[in-house]
Amino acid sequence: MSKLNKREAFPFTRNQPLLSPSEHRTVPSQDDVIAFYRTHERVGWSLSEFIDIPWSELQVEKLTPADVHVVETTMLVESNNPDYVANLIEYFQADQDVCDFIMMWGIEEWKHYYALRNYLTKVRTALTMKDLGSTARGAEIEASVHHALADDVEAVREASSENWGLPMHYLPAQVVANTTVQEFVTAEFYLNHALHTQEPVLAKLEMLLAKDETRHEMFYEHKTKDCLDADPDIMPLVVESLKEFGMPGAYLVDDYGERRKAMEQAAFPTLADKKAEFVRLFSKMTRIIGHDNTMQVFTEGNYLSDGVDDASVKKMRPEMITRLLTRRLG
Ligand SMILES: [Fe+2]
Ligand SMILES: [Fe+2]
């Protein structure tokens, strides 16, 4: 049973009126859907090939407890895919193109869940076969793997039905703007962790996942831009929704705060890595909503506390952001 006590908050948009389902439409474009499918076919990877990699190919000696923590947490968040798909389909029921995309997207996210889960089972087998479970590090890894594979997926699904869902009061542009950021952050995370882990099979898997997440992010970014081009007056509402952006994990996993810190450390170990990543996120958002609006999102919003209005978490100051950006440019 999940102990998660976080609930939907939406501090900046909570007073928005609900739209009727027929108003939940983006700008139609079948071409975007076909373009996504084409890349899905062209650059798609084989889950079967990944499953067929024998456990003996894993270099578990090179795996750290932090690596396993990363796989476990990402697997849990990716496991929530059926609920996420159901939410999106319900929200976008009047938008055929987006629903068509969601069907393909759902398959890809399921692959992520299943591949990560399969990786954990290989780790467990490798630890047993190589008799590493008796070492302190091996025991820590084994306990983590065992827990993740045993009960946690069920607990996440339970948490998702209670704590989380797509904000039904959002405009379509707010939904796709938030999913763009979510996919971008996920892609960056996988890519950077792949570059830091010493275990080659995990690195290979994370590179594949990062490529998929990047394609997802591109689709949603396109949709966001189309919506904003068609109706520039909704920009302030999009900014408000981005101010309360939080990763879905925060609503799904009990100890997400701790997990988030550990994951950030594993993928962005140095202060320079963390700063560079912030600059990348800032640039990505600038491409969609412009520099001044992005500044507003980060200085007024709850980016650092995953969407929640947490007074103990200081907001970012504009001077600090400018310093980060110009230092990078310089
Ligand atoms: Fe994914
Ligand atoms: Fe994704």
DSSP letters of 150-216? Answer: IIIHHHHHHHHHHH----TTS-HHHHHHHHHHHHHHHHHHHHHHHHH-S-HHHHHHHHHHHHHHHHH
Q: How far apart are CA 90 and CA 93, in angstroms?
A: 5
Is 316 contained in some domain? yes
pLDDT band (50, 70, 90) for residue 275: very high
Segment 299-315, tens digit of pLDDT? 999 887 877 788 888 88
Is 178 contained in some domain? yes
Confirm if 247 and 264 have CB atoms less than 8 A apart: no
Segment 60-111, tens digit of pLDDT? 999 998 999 899 999 988 998 888 999 999 999 999 999 999 999 999 999 9
Q: Which domain holds residue 184?
A: 26-329
- Mean of the pLDDT values across residues 237-246? 95
Segment 50-62, tens digit of pLDDT? 999 999 999 999 9
Confirm if 94 and 21 have CB atoms less than 8 A apart: yes
- Ligand 1 midpoint to CA 303 (Å): 21
Is 9 contained in some domain? no
- Mean of the pLDDT values across residues 113-121? 96
Q: How far apart are CA 19 and CA 50, in angstroms?
A: 43
How many other CB atoms sit within 10 Å of the CB of residue 39?
Answer: 14
Is 2 contained in some domain? no
Confirm if 34 and 222 have CB atoms less than 8 A apart: no
Is 16 contained in some domain? no
Is 285 contained in some domain? yes
Is 219 contained in some domain? yes
- Ligand 1 midpoint to CA 70 (Å): 13
- Mean of the pLDDT values across residues 4-28? 86
Ligand with an atom nearest the CA of residue 179: 2
CATH number at residue 124: 1.10.620.20
pLDDT band (50, 70, 90) for residue 1: very low
pLDDT band (50, 70, 90) for residue 164: low
The C-alpha angle 250, 251, 254, rounded to 5 degrees, equals 75
Instruction: Take residue 236 and report the two structure tokens written for it.
Output: 């302030």
Is 184 contained in some domain? yes
**pTM for this prediction:** 0.93
What is the number of domains present in the chain? 1
Query: For a pLDDT cut of 70, what percent of the chain falls above it?
Result: 95
- The set of residues, in sequence order, having a beta carbon less than 8 Å from that of 230 and lying 6+ positions away, is 27
Q: How far apart are CA 178 and CA 18, in angstroms?
A: 18
- Ligand 1 midpoint to CA 317 (Å): 32
- Ligand 2 midpoint to CA 161 (Å): 20
- Ligand 1 midpoint to CA 183 (Å): 8
What count of residues does the chain have? 330
- Ligand 2 midpoint to CA 295 (Å): 25
